């Protein structure tokens, strides 16, 4: 048995819509599916505008460009995230400021953000322009708290919702809560376009600017005249067709993820040393990945557990390596600011892993994974260090 850590769920609807693009010759960055996908996904997030792009990374870069973030500016973000969140800041020539996370959800710690901003205010400087929040592994960050901080210090609030399509904070969907929200449609995300991404916003001015910048920034008045540096981040109609077919099933995908989380919670109950993911009372998590940490009482380190599971056909992934530890920032000389220490991020990145969480995972496979964990756990008398 080999159980992959993730797999997309594709079907006949995807084939039909993509086939339609090919039959009709609408394969590039114009066509009806782009408009339908953008409008449909923005509406799903509870906002008016969706700007499709080539990847989640491009979405993040475009969002920060749209806000005018550039050299000399600082952007606050959690150190425990995927490299794309930090790289997007660096692409703009701005400086990422790495902050620790909250222990319970692994999302950005609002206290740390406030601490940094207070210190900067005292020194009379104002370099921080934006707060980039990541809804890690499908669990929303504490948005009211973060919005309050952003407002108090006049910062833009940007969401990296690449792992949180459909996740809700107090009944409102992630991505639609900040000034701009960024999504990825990579193959392992809640819905996919193969590669792809989207920026969503309720602000028509920001939407217009993002739309121009992603298409080489042609002047509004004259094509082939450019007053700004533009990019080609255009999604294709083929990708949008795939995305539209997926969007129609997004609630089903989320139901599958949540059912999977419930099943794991049930099966793993009572195994000592496994800290299972939680859901805050105000949160609706989409459990993009079933993420847990392996604590001392389990007796095996995270890495040894991953190796043992692999031998038994169970693919897992470790948590992200925090950005403050990344060679490209730590030794590579790429500008960044540390605001450590980082007890939560450091510990999570050493102890955290995610279990197979694909949309095609069966109940029997979940039972098998849990059974292997149980067999490897101390309650089965496995000797320390073996
Ligand atoms: C996947 C992901 C991205 C990047 O998306 P791509 O489409 O792979 O470029 C950015 N941020 C987070 C948190 C992600 O998980």
DSSP readout, 141-163? P-HHHHHHHHHHTT-EEEEE-TT
| Same-domain status, 226 and 289 | no
CA separation for the pair 138, 179 (Å, rounded): 19
Query: Is 7 contained in some domain?
Result: no
Query: Could you report the average pLDDT of every consecutive run of 10 residues in the chain (386 residues)?
Result: 92 97 95 98 98 98 98 98 98 98 97 97 95 98 98 98 98 98 98 98 98 94 92 98 98 98 96 96 98 95 97 97 96 93 98 97 96 90 51
Residue with tokens 């989380």: 261
In DSSP terms, which residues pair with 180 in a beta bridge? 158
CATH of the domain at 266: 3.90.1150.10
Could you give the number of structural domains in the chain?
2
**Structural domain ending residue among the three candidates 216, 249, 282:** 249
Residue nearest to atom 2 of ligand 1 (CA): 162
| Same-domain status, 41 and 80 | yes
- Of the candidates 102, 7, 53, 78, the one whose C-alpha atom is nearest the C-alpha of residue 236 is 53
Output the CA 82–ligand 1 centroid distance in Å: 7
239 lines ligand 1 (CB under 6 A): no
How many Cα atoms are found within 13 Å in the side-chain-facing hemisphere of 308?
18
pTM of this prediction?
0.97
Q: Residue by residue, what is the 3-state secondary structure of 231-291?
A: CECCCCHHHHHHHHHHHCCHHHHHHHHHHHHHHHHHHHCCCCCEECCCCCCCEECCCCCEE
Angle at 234 between CA 52 and CA 358, to 5 degrees: 55
Range of the domain at 269: 251-385
Retrieve residue 122's tokens: 């005292």
| Same-domain status, 212 and 151 | yes
What b-and-e string marks burial along 321-335, b requiring 16 or more CB atoms within 10 Å of the CB? bbbbebeebeeeeee
Query: Is 3 contained in some domain?
Result: no
| Same-domain status, 71 and 148 | yes
Query: Is 269 contained in some domain?
Result: yes
- Which of 53, 78, 139, 163 has the most ligand 1 atoms within 8 A of CB, as the residue to mutate? 163
**Structural domain ending residue among the three candidates 229, 249, 269:** 249
Query: Is 208 contained in some domain?
Result: yes
Query: Is 6 contained in some domain?
Result: no
């Amino acid at each position: 048995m080999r159980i992959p850590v993730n797999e997309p769920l594709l079907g006949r609807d995807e084939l039909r819509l993509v086939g339609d693009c090919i039959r009709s010759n609408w394969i590039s960055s114009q066509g009806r599916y782009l408009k339908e996908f953008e409008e449909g996904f923005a509406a799903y997030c509870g906002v008016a505008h969706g700007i499709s792009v080539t990847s989640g990374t491009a979405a993040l870069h475009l969002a920060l460009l749209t806000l005018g973030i550039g050299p000399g500016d600082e952007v606050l973000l959690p150190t425990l995230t995927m490299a794309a969140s930090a790289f997007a800041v660096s692409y703009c020539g701005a400086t990422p400021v790495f902050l620790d996370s909250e222990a319970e959800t692994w999302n950005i710690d609002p206290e740390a953000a406030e601490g940094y901003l207070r210190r900067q205010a005292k020194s009379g400087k104002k370099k921080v322009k934006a707060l980039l929040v990541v809804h890690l592994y499908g669990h929303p960050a504490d948005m009211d708290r973060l919005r309050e901080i952003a407002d108090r210090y006049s910062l833009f609030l940007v969401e990296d919702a690449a792992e949180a399509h459909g996740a809700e904070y107090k009944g409102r969907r992630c991505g639609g809560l900040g000034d701009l929200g960024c999504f990825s449609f990579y193959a392992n995300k809640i819905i996919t376009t193969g590669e792809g991404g989207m920026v969503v916003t309720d602000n028509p001015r920001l939407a217009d600017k993002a739309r121009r910048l992603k298409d080489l920034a042609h002047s509004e008045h004259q094509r082939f005249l450019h007053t700004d540096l533009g990019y080609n981040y255009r999604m294709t109609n083929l990708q949008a067709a795939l995305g539209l077919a997926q969007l129609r099933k997004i609630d089903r995908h989320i139901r599958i993820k949540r059912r999977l989380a419930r099943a794991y919670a049930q099966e793993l109950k009572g195994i000592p040393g496994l800290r299972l993911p939680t859901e805050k009372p105000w949160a609706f998590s989409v459990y993009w990945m079933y993420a847990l940490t392996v604590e001392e009482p389990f007796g095996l380190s995270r890495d040894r557990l991953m190796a043992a599971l692999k031998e038994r056909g169970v693919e897992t992934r470790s948590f992200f390596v925090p950005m403050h530890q990344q060679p490209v920032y730590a030794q590579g000389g790429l500008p960044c600011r540390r605001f450590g220490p980082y007890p939560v991020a450091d510990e999570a990145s050493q102890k955290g892993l995610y279990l197979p969480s694909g949309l095609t995972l069966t109940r029997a496979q979940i039972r098998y994974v849990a059974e292997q964990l149980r067999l490897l756990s101390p309650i089965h008398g496995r000797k320390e260090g073996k």
